[in-house]
Amino acid sequence: MIDGPALTARLDEGDRLVEADPRFAAMNERAGGALGQRLAAPPLAALARLARRLAIPISRAVTIADADQDLDCWAQAIPAGDGVTLALSAVRERPAWKPVTVADAVPPPPGGDWTWEVDAHLRVRHMLVDPGACPGIDPATVIGQPLTGLLALESNADGVVPLLEAMGSLDDFSDQPAILNGSGLPVLLSGHVRLDRAGGFGGFVGATYRQPKLSPLPEARFGSLFNHRLDTILRRPLSRIVANADSINAGVDGDIDPQYADYAADIASAGRHLMGLIDDLSDIEAIEREDFTVENEGIDLADVTRRAAGLLSVRAANAGVTIDRGDLETAMPAHGEFRRTLQIMVNLIGNAVRYSPRDAIVWLRLQRDSDRVYAIVADQGKGIALEDQERIFAKFERVDPGEPGGSGLGLYIARRLARAMGGDLTVDSAPGEGARFVLSLPAG
């Protein structure tokens, strides 16, 4: 205990205790320290280093663990030559923190194939398994291990992980989908929450229910189900990943090592790539439905092309590529859906920029021929061989899969959209001579 005058001590330039009054020395010894050794109380050592580095006296409140007491103290560190003098005054003494015990036992949910109990850190404390119900589980080997090491938790149809949500709300949970690691057995978990004596989370007492393995969904249904859960399962967490990585890269919370800033930029770029893939898969789900239609609007193809070029201008500048817009000020009426036509042009111009060498030019031109209008995107890339020119419009196809680029879905989607609007998308190219993509639409 600290009563009466302040405790004093002196540290050298290496944070070693070189002098201390008897009470300070006794407290330091109880913490495992001794004269001539580094100070054993980390909060005081940190305060001393700060005072020495700034070369000014510093005072602040600190808490020191001393035997079975936690001491809330007011500490002062005063630079003195190469060392620091410390003065410590007690403010409050209180019992040291101890883990709270868990309240009375809670029974597991009924009817499970096996039951289990986990603590506040989801470590298995008890498990009762019928070997015939789940071969391969040995309770003796899982005790003390995280429950998530035994089971892979999955989100439910609403994109929620019920067990984790129950931890935050201190509530029971049910119908938690999971997969038994190693065997791939699908199961459902239910659990009753256990509260500690302070009313905090103390763990769960749960039961596991085996589920029959589901047959693979028909391909025609996959897109619909994927799209239904798209936002909650993929878009939202990816958006947070991209936003946080961008914040780290920009140094919003302070300067960081440039190498880590580059890592953050790579993470953000990968996240955007995945977001683009999600958009493509969502589009495929739409355009491959039998009832898919597009709006028949009167659009200005010149205006759409200008807007697409504007959206890609920063990317082109960063890549050292010039976009030659030609005469895009003259209106070019056409029939089609504005949003889908813009999507096609952004894809074509984006590809041209991506596959063009630095200092290259991407040309944008418009033409009209009788009842058709044409938007042409020409680049100075390495070109496309004749045998590959039809293949690049197939799903997941790319000329060189090893080359950095998209997912192989953009041109497939663009052609499907063009044809849905009564037009088409074609390419004219030769190796070493760049590529010329032509979007045709009905004239307005």
More confident residue, 366 or 288: 366
Please give the pLDDT value at position 100: 46
Q: What would the pLDDT profile of 145-175 be if each residue is shown by its tens digit?
A: 888 888 888 887 777 788 988 888 888 998 8
Please give the pLDDT value at position 230: 57
Amino acid identity of 236?
R
Contact between 313 and 325 (Cβ < 8 Å): no
Lowest mean pLDDT among 54-63, 94-103, 107-116, 323-332: 94-103
Same domain, 282 and 346: no
Please give the pLDDT value at position 261: 78
Please give the pLDDT value at position 229: 53
Determine the average pLDDT of the residues in 126-149: 72
Average pLDDT across the chain, whole number: 81
Same domain, 305 and 278: no
Residues 6 or more apart in contact with residue 326 via CB below 8 angstroms: 363, 364, 365, 366
Q: Is residue 310 part of a domain?
A: yes
Q: What is the CATH number of the domain that holds 12?
A: 3.30.450.20
Please give the pLDDT value at position 14: 85
Determine the average pLDDT of the residues in 77-99: 78
Q: Is residue 104 part of a domain?
A: no
* Spatial distance between the Cα atoms of 311 and 306, rounded to a whole number of angstroms: 9
Q: Is residue 279 part of a domain?
A: yes
Two structure tokens written together for 407: 């997912």
Q: Is residue 76 part of a domain?
A: yes
Is it the case that residue 56 has pLDDT exceeding 60? Answer: yes
Please give the pLDDT value at position 105: 63
Determine the average pLDDT of the residues in 282-308: 83
Is it the case that residue 38 has pLDDT exceeding 70? Answer: yes
Quick count: other Cβ atoms within 10 Å of Cβ 298?
Answer: 10
- The b/e string for 175-213 (b: 16+ C-beta within 10 A; e otherwise) is ebbbebeeeebbbbbbbbbbbbeeeebbbbbbbbbeeee
Same domain, 383 and 350: yes
When divided into structural domains, the chain yields a total of 4
Same domain, 433 and 345: yes
> What is the pTM assigned to this prediction?
0.46
DSSP string covering 150-214 = HEEE---TTS--HHHHHHHHT--EEEEEEEETTTTEEEEEEEEEEEBTTSSEEEEEEEEEE-PPP
Lowest mean pLDDT among 50-59, 260-269, 421-430: 260-269
Same domain, 205 and 243: no
Two structure tokens written together for 318: 């960063």
Same domain, 50 and 142: no
Answer with the one of 210, 233, 249 that is the final residue of a domain: 210
Question: Percent of the chain beyond pLDDT 70?
Answer: 84
Please give the pLDDT value at position 439: 94
Same domain, 332 and 430: yes
15: exposed, middle or buried (Cβ count in 10 Å: 0-12, 13-18, 19+) = middle
Please give the pLDDT value at position 132: 56
Q: Is residue 2 part of a domain?
A: no
Please give the pLDDT value at position 221: 43
Contact between 210 and 183 (Cβ < 8 Å): no
More confident residue, 390 or 284: 390
Same domain, 204 and 240: no
Residue 120's Cα: distance from chain center in Å?
25
Q: Is residue 255 part of a domain?
A: yes
* Spatial distance between the Cα atoms of 316 and 394, rounded to a whole number of angstroms: 26
Q: What would the pLDDT profile of 402-438 be if each residue is shown by its tens digit?
A: 565 566 788 888 898 999 899 999 999 888 888 999 9
* Spatial distance between the Cα atoms of 435 and 444, rounded to a whole number of angstroms: 27
Same domain, 319 and 419: yes
Answer with the one of 63, 95, 127 that is the final residue of a domain: 95
Answer with the one of 287, 311, 333 that is the final residue of a domain: 287
Q: Is residue 322 part of a domain?
A: yes
Q: What is the CATH number of the domain that holds 350?
A: 3.30.565.10
Please give the pLDDT value at position 216: 45
Confidence of residue 139 (pLDDT cuts 50, 70, 90): low
More confident residue, 68 or 257: 257
Query: Taking CA 26 as the corner, what is the angle to CA 24 and CA 30, rounded to the nearest 5 degrees?
Result: 115
Two structure tokens written together for 394: 């197939």
Please give the pLDDT value at position 219: 44
Please give the pLDDT value at position 321: 92
Domain that holds residue 263: 219-287
More confident residue, 400 or 115: 115
Same domain, 339 and 421: yes
* Spatial distance between the Cα atoms of 62 and 60, rounded to a whole number of angstroms: 6
Residue in this structure with the two tokens 């119908």, named with its chain if needed: 175
Q: Is residue 121 part of a domain?
A: yes
Same domain, 264 and 339: no
Same domain, 268 and 306: no
Is it the case that residue 215 has pLDDT exceeding 50? Answer: no
Determine the average pLDDT of the residues in 249-258: 75
Determine the average pLDDT of the residues in 196-223: 68
Is it the case that residue 226 has pLDDT exceeding 60? Answer: no
Contact between 52 and 10 (Cβ < 8 Å): no
More confident residue, 329 or 101: 329
Please give the pLDDT value at position 426: 93
* Spatial distance between the Cα atoms of 10 and 414, rounded to a whole number of angstroms: 75
Q: Report the chain's C-alpha Rg in angstroms.
A: 34
Is it the case that residue 222 has pLDDT exceeding 60? Answer: no
